[in-house]
Structure 1
């Protein structure tokens, strides 16, 4: 079974001279953790990005540098498109778990996605460093420990 990570975009971006996959554009804290640890995972984790400008971005999409921030209003604007794109993306999937690593403003954009799939949803929580720690452990294959740690966060 495959797992899915929904990762929020980052303000820090590379500046390619052409459209590129999201992993080549974003250069923030979590994307550096992704780059450093994805090959260590014993499980197959697909990564999609929740972009303040583009909405739901898959690894097949090509995007360029932009300067749009996720606000509550922007999240509300994107919500229906994100839910529709998510439902299309997971329609024929067998995702067992969906991991969500986004900042607070992004949550409104994700409102309603859980009804489109029969997977278990896990929201990485805590301060930046705590979420980074959870993400690293997740990518290294220590899913059960991350689930346990998240269950103890209020």
Structure 2
């Protein structure tokens, strides 16, 4: 099965003086994820096109210099006719079974009306939202499944955990009761999460928000991975979108 990926260029680039293939020049998180996938599965039947503010819609092996040009709404609208024409050529040249489009809002303007070109039988996945959500969607599309949660295998629930010298000794039910009460009281920003979440009743909440409740520490004081590990040490289930 041949798959097609269209993703935005990144502001972060390698600074090599010589021209590089676009997939090597751009060095943002999506490109690191993509290159890691290609190293693991070099025989994947995946064709990649990159939407560049300077060069338009280019194949991943297109040689480009180091440059600095940001995508704006105006630039995206300027590019739209040639980008749509190129997209139509790509779809006409080969038969694809799956398509993933991973673009920010400004970039998406250049693909306006792309859906009119989608042929029957082509499964389309759009990666939207925060960077974390786009990365999660792209990962799942590339690999065909969510990433394994390594800490689920490595962490044995102990009924207690500590963070920055603060010890927490609570059962999973007690943790969820505290979170439920905090929701009623409107504390903090429970819905601010990227991919991983805790279920409190039927509501999805941020693991960092829960750990902030338990420790009194601000969410900026620790990483998401630390929050997930602490909750798993307490036996609290962590879910992934």
Class of the TM-score when normalised by the shorter of the 2 chains = 0.7 to 0.9
User: 1:60: how far off?
Assistant: 3.7
1:18 is matched with which residue?
18
Q: Show the 5 A alignment for 1:1-154.
A: 1-41=1-41, 43-118=44-119, 119-142=122-145
User: 1:72: how far off?
Assistant: 0.7
RMSD: 2.0
User: 1:43: how far off?
Assistant: 4.8
TM-score calculated relative to the size of structure 2? 0.55
Runs of 4+ in 1 over 4 A off after TM superposition: none
Q: Does structure 1 conserve the Cα–Cα contact (< 8 Å) formed by 2:30 and 2:135?
A: yes
**Residue 49 of structure 1 aligns to a residue in which SS?**
strand
User: 1:115: how far off?
Assistant: 2.5
- Which structure exhibits the higher relative contact order, with contacts defined as CA atoms closer than 8 Å and separated by 6 or more residues? 1
**Residue 122 of structure 1 aligns to a residue in which SS?**
strand
User: 1:40: how far off?
Assistant: 3.8
Residue deviations 1:5-54 (CA, integer Å, cap 9, x gap): 10100000002222221111000011111111234458522111010111
Q: Does structure 2 conserve the Cα–Cα contact (< 8 Å) formed by 1:114 and 1:121?
A: no
**Which structure shows the bigger proportion of residues in strand conformation?**
2
How many residue pairs get aligned? The number is 144
**Residue 93 of structure 2 aligns to a residue in which SS?**
coil
- Per mean C-alpha deviation after superposition, the further-off stretch among 36-45 and 120-129 is 36-45
Q: Does structure 2 conserve the Cα–Cα contact (< 8 Å) formed by 1:50 and 1:56?
A: yes
Unaligned runs of 5+ residues in structure 1 are: 144-148, 150-154
Q: Does structure 2 conserve the Cα–Cα contact (< 8 Å) formed by 1:38 and 1:139?
A: no
